Amino acid sequence: DTGVSQDPRHKITKRGQNVTFRCDPISEHNRLYWYRQTLGQGPEFLTYFQNEAQLEKSRLLSDRFSAERPKGSFSTLEIQRTEQGDSAMYLCASSPLPQSRGPDYEQYFGPGTRLTVT
Cα dihedral sign, 61-59-4-83: positive
- Closest contact distance (angstroms) between CB of 14 and another protein is 23
Work out whether 25 is an interface residue with another protein (CB under 8 A): no
Strand partners, 117: 13
CB of 16 or CB of 98, closer to another protein = 98
CA distances from 85 to 50, 51, 89, 90, 108 (A): 28, 30, 12, 13, 26
Work out whether 41 is an interface residue with another protein (CB under 8 A): yes
- Closest contact distance (angstroms) between CB of 81 and another protein is 26
CA distances from 10 to 55, 115, 117 (A): 28, 6, 11
Interface with another protein in residues 65-104 (CB under 8 A): 91, 93, 95, 98, 100-101, 104
Binding residues for another protein (CB under 8 A): 4, 31, 33, 35, 40-45, 48, 55-56, 91, 93, 95, 98, 100-101, 104-112, 114
